Amino acid sequence: MYRLGLEGFLGLKKRGDWLEMDPRIPRDWPGFRVTYRFGPATYEFQVQNPGHVNQGVQQVSLNGRAIPDKVIPLSQDGGIYTVLIVMG
């Protein structure tokens, strides 16, 4: 059930050592936060929905750096990573 929620509703999909994020949320949600652990590493996701859409990703950044292909690389180095996703 946990995996169904992460993959279906929040749009979090693990592909090997990469994560894709394609959330599908109600339009009136301003966004959400979720923590994802990959081995000893922690990923803090903040999803913002300024345009009040129910799906679509406009921008992805990892620790403040834009990720043009919108796919998040995973690391097992024990670090803490901040991922910002702007829907649009």
1 pLDDT above the threshold of 80: no
- pTM listed for this prediction: 0.87
Query: For residue 70, is pLDDT > 90?
Result: no
CA distances to 1, 5, 73 from 58, in Å: 28, 22, 18
The number of folded domains in the chain is 1
* Percent above pLDDT 70 for the chain: 90
Average pLDDT over every residue of 2-22? 77
Range of the domain at 48: 2-87
Q: Residue 82's CB: how many other CB atoms inside 10 A?
A: 13
Task: Give the CATH number of the domain where residue 34 resides.
Answer: 2.60.420.10
Residue 4: the pLDDT is 57
Provide mean pLDDT across the span 80-88: 96
